[in-house]
Amino acid sequence: MSVNKEIKRITTHTLQEMKNRGEKIAMLTAYDYSMAAIVDNAGMDVILVGDSASNVMAGHETTLPITLDQMIYHASSVVRAAKRALVIVDLPFGSYQGNSKEALSSAIRIMKESGAHGIKLEGGVEIAESVSRILTAGIPVMGHLGLTPQSIYKFGTYTVRAKEEAEAAKLKEDAKKLEELGCFGVVLEKIPAKLAKEVSESLHIPTIGIGAGQHCDGQVLVIHDMLGINKGFKPRFLRQYADLFDVMNNAIGNYVTDVKAKSFPSEKEEY
Ligand SMILES: Nc1nc(=O)c2c([nH]1)NC[C@@H]1CN(c3ccc(C(=O)N[C@@H](CCC(=O)O)C(=O)O)cc3)CN21
Ligand SMILES: CC(C)C(=O)C(=O)O
Ligand SMILES: [Mg+2]
């Protein structure tokens, strides 16, 4: 590996400086050590240990089942691999909605037990008290607005959000509030590009988009989607950079064939 040990860690301040000078922020998910090592080595600014682990790691239909303990396991693995990237961890469903004290103790567990650099949670003004309390403890917080998958059963679909004026106005208020509270950034998921542009221009802190157009200050994707491992998932916002399902399927199929044909192992591969 060509990792330079002298390399400087990205911080939340680095992200703010990037926005100030108009440099886009690259963010991608990872959930385990080996994948995170590749992501970090490739020059990622931010690694998100997303609760999408519930989908792509555990095979659940939604992000709701994943637990705080499971998020900490994924996060600690990623932290051991990330030499340069800032590592942010999703607070999972049920670990912060109860009250601000519970939210703080969940955030503290993530910071203490995984070594991550900050947390992300879904919601706006409703969770202001929790955001504030976590920030008071010195933990960097990232917001997440628009399509918030932990509320999927409230909305019923994964369609684009804030198309109507009332919902757009609420999202702008929420974004302002998160900035005022002291969040270092906010994810905007599946909202019209025009709205994301307005929010990105009116906020001082960086916005990171997923399905929110090119005017966000950065972009985020789920790694299994962009590498083509998660084959069935092809929403319009996704750009697929590889076909790893096919690459891996071929390699594994060849191994099966070789074992059956008794061509593996060969004499060169035995003792
Ligand atoms: N693998 C994966 N990728 C993600 O981007 C992701 C997760 N999991 N889990 C948590 C959330 C859920 N996310 C989602 C889920 C669905 C769509 C989506 O566009 N789904 C449909 C369209 C649904 C509709 O329009 O009703 C699609 O086109 O596949 C987008 C983001 C984003 N996050
Ligand atoms: C899609 C991103 C923003 C996320 O929250 C996740 O991966 O869980
Ligand atoms: Mg998430």
Find the helix or strand (DSSP H, E) in which 71 lies: helix 68-81
- Nearest alpha carbon, ligand 2 atom 5: 50
How many whole angstroms from 7 Cα to the centroid of ligand 2?
27
148 lines ligand 2 (CB under 6 A): no
CB 130 within 8 A of CB 139: no
Residue span of the structural domain in which 31 resides: 12-240
ipTM for the predicted complex? 0.96
d(CA 265, CA 168): 61
Residues 180 and 249 in one domain: no
What counts of helices (H) and strands (E) characterise the chain? 11, 8
- Work out the number of other CB atoms within 10 angstroms of the CB of residue 226: 17
Residues 231 and 258 in one domain: no
The pair of structure tokens assigned to 185 is 């950034």
Residues 125 and 189 in one domain: yes
Residues 200 and 256 in one domain: no
Active site residue 17: no
Choose which residue among 61, 208, 222, 230 to substitute to test ligand 1 binding: the one with the highest number of ligand atoms within 8 A of its C-beta: 222
Residues contacting residue 253 through CB under 8 Å, at least 6 positions apart:
none
Residue 253 maps to a domain: yes
Residues 215 and 271 in one domain: no
Residues 106 and 86 in one domain: yes
**pLDDT tens digits in sequence order for the chain, 271 residues long:** 555 567 899 999 999 999 999 999 999 999 999 999 999 999 999 999 999 999 999 999 999 999 999 999 999 999 999 999 999 999 999 999 999 999 999 999 999 999 999 999 999 999 999 999 999 999 999 999 999 999 999 999 999 999 999 999 999 999 999 999 999 999 999 999 999 999 999 999 999 999 999 999 999 999 999 999 999 999 999 999 999 999 999 999 999 999 999 999 999 999 9
d(CA 186, CA 120): 9
* pLDDT number for residue 1: 56
The pair of structure tokens assigned to 18 is 């990037």
* pLDDT number for residue 2: 56
How many whole angstroms from 159 Cα to the centroid of ligand 2?
15
